[in-house]
Structure 1
Amino acid sequence: GAATAVGLMLVATSAFSQSRPPTEGPAVDGSPAWFLQGSFPDPGGRTRVDRDGRVTIVPRSEAGGYRTSTGETPGCSHSPVCGNQVGRRRQDLQRVQWEQTLGYTFTYPEMLPPGLGGVSAVALDSSHNLWVFQRAEAGSPQLFKFDPDYRLILSVDPELIGYQDKAHGMAVDGDDNVWITATNGATVMKMSPVGELLLTIGESGRRGDWDEAAGQRLLWQPVMVAFGANGDVYIGQGHGNESPNDTDSEDPTNNIGASRILHLDKHGTFINQWFGNEAGPGKFNSAHGLAVDPANGDVWIGDREDYRIVVYGGDGRFRKTLQMRNLPCALYFDSHGQPWMASGQDGQFLKLNRNGMVLGAIGNGMGVRPGQFIEASYWVMDPDDNLYAGDTAVGRVTKMVAPPR
């Protein structure tokens, strides 16, 4: 009867919890085989890169005034995301790797100006110019534009955007304007195609809630932006492993919620926002990855530390959760409408179906050798299916060349 069924369920659950997790899996149903691979120490941007893409890690004693761009991370005592700080160090983890079956090759055509600092994001405009956002040293340019022949044609004046001590996400809208997120500076900036500052959302250095009714329009750790088909702007906030704001803070400007999606029109006018704040269905602890599905306007959120993709409608209504084996560090839809995911410190870019199944992988795992990434994050694809990606901890841009069609 019912008691017997419950007993069988308890036995099965106990047996599952005591078994060791698998360390590899075969190719099945269109998904490639996977295996575990060790991590690599994070150089934190202390790297130099030659014209062939070879990386030299600079010892801390020789890095001068350069420091890892972490900025001031506020404390957290009650927010549900605080628990994300618990766990082993990233460099000690075993990483899920997928067999590479897509036939891509790795090249390094863009050469950044000399200096230290990882590349947090890249983006392409309609003329196939590549924008690069770098965590460079204070006083150095951080936002660059390369033409299709890989020549540097623009370095945005660092005084215009201010020092981005944690340069993070970037995306190009339908009018070729460039949007960048200053995670520690608590702003999102809209730049023209020629590098003019058009709009600043939030107040630099003042972190807090967006409370439209109170006329308070602040941001808290904005990490990425994405655009709807009509130009609407979605801003993902909440860098989950670094404890965003408390939901019951004594600071009146900072107590609504932690991780959230802010929905604005293309002029920056408020439309809606919704919150994660926990790990249950329809919730998220961080909003590190962000992309809009061109097929239906759904908003895909990469809940990084919880290894999940959480999908909402453009109106903020929950759709579904996709549990992943890898870190969903960044999300992207290619020109065919195909979803992809960057796996962060797992060092790969994964082609997915809309149920989260991995269909293919590009990348040699975590590291600094050719085709490797310390952190595979915000990237872009051109119409020929080539990928361009930076590396948050390494100052190089990798072009992953698609095989001939």
Structure 2
Amino acid sequence: MNLTRRLLVLVGFCLIGDLANADNWPAWRGADGTGISRETGLPVKWSATENIRWKVLLAEPCNSTPIVWGEQVFLTQGLDKGKRRALIALDRKTGKSLWQQEVTCDIEETSHGQNPPCSASPVTDGKTVFANFASGGVLACSLDGKRLWHRDLGPVLSRWGNGGSPILYGNLVIVFHGPGTPSILYALDRDTGKTAWSSEETAINSPVFGSWSTPVVVRADNHDELVMPLPGEKIGGVGFFKGYDPTNGKSLWQIDGLGNEVYAMPILGVGGRVIVGVSGHNGPTVAIRAGGSGNVTASHRLWRTETKNPQRVGSGIIHDGHLFLADATGVLQCLKVETGEPVYQERLGGNLWGSILLADGKLYVSNLEGDTYVVRAAPKFELLATNSVGEATYSALAPAHGELFLRTHGHLYCIASMSDADSFEPVNEFPKLPADQVLGPCSAVATNSKGEIFLFHRGKHPILCMDSDGKLLRSWGDDLIDKAHGLRIDRQDNVWITDIGNHRVMKFDPSGKLLLSLGTGKAGTGTDEFDRPTDIAFGANGDVFVSDGYGNSRVLKFSSAGRLLKTWGTRGKELGDFHLPHAIIMDSKGSLLVGDRENERIQRFDAEGKALGQWTGFAPYGLAINGDGHVFVADAVAHQVLRLDAEGKVVQRIGQKGQAPGEFELPHMLTFDTAGNLFVAEVEGKRFQKFKKK
């Protein structure tokens, strides 16, 4: 039959609503299984610190790709080296953990070192999230984390682990339970997990060879067909595609030509006519069309590469009549999809393992080393960007809501375009202190109207005053201060500090003369006492606000002369409560911002203590506001400086954990000078850095 008359209309994974028109990414290769997104304006360039909205630490390396629905990100995660396996939900805007459901796996699965447990990605219909944990079974949860059902399908005994992700069809969850002995296609009832049908495969049951692929659903001959690539029936045999009726599992047709190992999912094009299968370990690439009955190799196999191909693990892309494939040697290849004729092959670098994403006319493909290449999706090769986060990744990118989600072996990243971000560069050979002035843990830094820099540290001469180049001008505090914490400069250039060793707040003039001391010197809960106060802020009228953080979890308001005016707050999680108010500052609109450290939020108050709202998703150790009124946060858990927008959303991340210039080890507090330069004090790093605004 003429090829042009047999259009394959893609049913994809879902039949779960009009997901292709939404901003969601509900399955590993998207709603229709093509790996093609309709998103536009996605980031093209990023790094470990550029265009990163947030990143969260992951417990163990895994290869699964996150999925996105609405305001939630879902991913599977191995724990205790696969003995426990979890389905995790995160807040899309902040990365904060929302819920986690676990299953246990008592079976000791063997696997390849590059394929740790939980390689299968979840899938959702917008009501329920489904995860395939291989020997750990199939788990279904509601979007709010309620465990709905769990189905044990038995062990998956393969030397190289598993990889097949679940797909949805009608009221069915379809899972390839393999490779290994036996390998079975299961269709489970979406509501109960009970078996609707199953099909045990005649393909080779081997601990070495098999299929790690995910099936797809297409439409051919006026009905839906489930297509699954499988290995040969014996070692050295020929692998094949197999078509099934997805409603009952009945075998419809077979097309030969694949190898004994299949890793990639069948490659589909939107509204296309061709399905492409890629074999692993030097096996052939095969293009077919669905439909027919029995063995239709002669009539339905369009082309097959006869030469050996490099190892291919990830799935490719069909776009505008061309097929794009990546391989383990770092080569991106473009072929004509209807003939297999090569168009170009270009070496990108590294081991290209992850599946390719197509969005806005661009191909995104990552290598094992953590580099993501952005290439024009066209028959003429054009490299647009090379991006690296410096962490190994075996996963594909997930696009949603204008953002990209990248899973590495260490973190989950939310990548977003932040075109208005400030640009800073670390200043080398700063500060210029005498050789005998050794810095201890640096807890705070501030600048005055003259451009002088004041550093508060836990060492000899705890208060150091320097000029703008970091040369020491004067120092004091040995006989007064026990343990440095917060330091701020008021509008008269007076220096205010909090001493968590002596439980005091002290005010000095710029020369170091003590002007005022608040607190009794002992920890307490009274109105004249503090318990390890952390920071100071100033109102426009000269009022002084103190975060009495470690022991009392409260805020105290004083007049400029030190008379107590008001106090509020207690230990708790509700709005207006605190769990270690660690930083405090007045913003340009007159709102008091309190860094509620252990509750991982910033609370906003008016000057009388009325709660106005909160921003969540970070660990606010220090707060600063630059000359443009932008709020910056020292996040000591992430070892980064964050810039927030007017809604408290992270729009810029500066630095990462490390000792090199521009990196941080527990950034504690921060400040800006009148020129917009940034200063950051590090407790663990025992230093403070200056960043020049470009």
**TM-score, with length taken from structure 2:** 0.41
Distance change >3 Å, CA 156–CA 319, structure 1 → 2: same
Q: Does 1:125 align with 2:448?
A: yes
| Aligned match of 1:197 | 514
Give the Cα separation in 2 of the matches to 1:25 and 1:276: 41
Q: Does 1:294 align with 2:588?
A: yes
Indicate conservation of the 8 Å contact 1:171/1:225, yes or no.
yes
Indicate conservation of the 8 Å contact 1:226/1:291, yes or no.
yes
Amino acid at match of 2:635: S
| Aligned match of 1:267 | 561
Give the Cα separation in 1 of the matches to 2:397 and 2:582: 27
| Aligned match of 2:498 | 181
| Aligned match of 1:350 | 642
Give the Cα separation in 2 of the matches to 1:289 and 1:96: 26
Indicate conservation of the 8 Å contact 1:283/1:310, yes or no.
no
Amino acid at match of 1:147: D
Indicate conservation of the 8 Å contact 2:486/2:498, yes or no.
yes
Q: Offset of 1:298 from its aligned partner? A: 1.3
Distance change >3 Å, CA 174–CA 373, structure 1 → 2: same
Amino acid at match of 2:144: T
| Aligned match of 1:208 | 524
Amino acid at match of 2:496: W
Amino acid at match of 1:209: T
Q: Does 1:401 align with 2:692?
A: yes
Distance change >3 Å, CA 281–CA 102, structure 1 → 2: same
Give the Cα separation in 1 of the matches to 2:475 and 2:409: 38
Alignment of 1:25-36 (within 5 A): none
Distance change >3 Å, CA 28–CA 286, structure 1 → 2: farther
Per-residue deviation, residues 195-253 of structure 1 (Å, max 9, x unmatched): 1111110022x110233xxxxx11111000011111110000122xxxx2xxxxxxxxx
Indicate conservation of the 8 Å contact 1:98/1:361, yes or no.
no
Q: Offset of 1:346 from its aligned partner? A: 1.3
| Aligned match of 2:571 | 277
Give the Cα separation in 2 of the matches to 1:299 and 1:372: 29
The one of the two structures with greater contact order (alpha-carbon pairs below 8 A, sep at least 6) is 1
Q: Does 1:226 align with 2:518?
A: no
**TM-score, with length taken from structure 1:** 0.69
- Quick one: which of 134, 140, 148 aligns to 2:468? 148
- Quick one: which of 113, 137, 144 aligns to 1:13? 144
Indicate conservation of the 8 Å contact 1:302/1:310, yes or no.
yes
Amino acid at match of 1:308: R
Indicate conservation of the 8 Å contact 1:345/1:366, yes or no.
no
Give the Cα separation in 2 of the matches to 1:270 and 1:35: 50
Q: Does 1:309 align with 2:602?
A: yes
Indicate conservation of the 8 Å contact 2:495/2:510, yes or no.
yes
Q: Offset of 1:369 from its aligned partner? A: 1.9
Q: Offset of 1:36 from its aligned partner? A: 7.1
Q: Does 1:361 align with 2:653?
A: yes
SS of 1:13's equivalent in the other structure is: coil
Per-residue deviation, residues 336-360 of structure 1 (Å, max 9, x unmatched): 2221111113121111112111121
| Aligned match of 2:620 | 328
- Quick one: which of 233, 238, 258 aligns to 2:549? 238
Give the Cα separation in 2 of the matches to 1:17 and 1:332: 45
Q: Does 1:114 align with 2:114?
A: no
SS of 2:620's equivalent in the other structure is: coil
Give the Cα separation in 2 of the matches to 1:37 and 1:285: 32
Q: Offset of 1:150 from its aligned partner? A: 2.3
Indicate conservation of the 8 Å contact 2:439/2:687, yes or no.
no
Distance change >3 Å, CA 125–CA 105, structure 1 → 2: same
- When structure 1 is superposed on structure 2, of 219-228 and 103-112 the one drifting more is 103-112
Amino acid at match of 1:359: V
Distance change >3 Å, CA 238–CA 157, structure 1 → 2: closer
Indicate conservation of the 8 Å contact 1:35/1:97, yes or no.
no
Q: Offset of 1:103 from its aligned partner? A: 3.0
Q: Offset of 1:34 from its aligned partner? A: 7.9
Give the Cα separation in 2 of the matches to 1:232 and 1:23: 53
Per-residue deviation, residues 63-118 of structure 1 (Å, max 9, x unmatched): xxxxxxxxxxxxxxxxxxxxxxxxxxxxxxx6979789643211242134533511
Indicate conservation of the 8 Å contact 2:467/2:473, yes or no.
yes
Write out the 4+ residue segments of structure 1 that deviate beyond 2 Å after TM superposition. 14-18, 22-29, 31-38, 94-103, 111-116
Distance change >3 Å, CA 17–CA 268, structure 1 → 2: farther
- Which of the pair is proportionally richer in strand? 2
Distance change >3 Å, CA 384–CA 98, structure 1 → 2: farther
- When structure 1 is superposed on structure 2, of 94-103 and 185-194 the one drifting more is 94-103
Pair member with larger Rg:
2
Per-residue deviation, residues 39-86 of structure 1 (Å, max 9, x unmatched): xxxxxxxxxxxxxxxxxxxxxxxxxxxxxxxxxxxxxxxxxxxxxxxx
Distance change >3 Å, CA 97–CA 266, structure 1 → 2: farther
Give the Cα separation in 2 of the matches to 1:230 and 1:172: 15
Q: Offset of 1:25 from its aligned partner? A: 7.9
Indicate conservation of the 8 Å contact 1:32/1:358, yes or no.
no
- Which of the pair is proportionally richer in helix? 1
Amino acid at match of 1:397: F
Amino acid at match of 1:334: N
Per-residue deviation, residues 307-351 of structure 1 (Å, max 9, x unmatched): 111111110011101111x21111122112221111113121111
User: Identity of aligned pairs, percent?
Assistant: 28
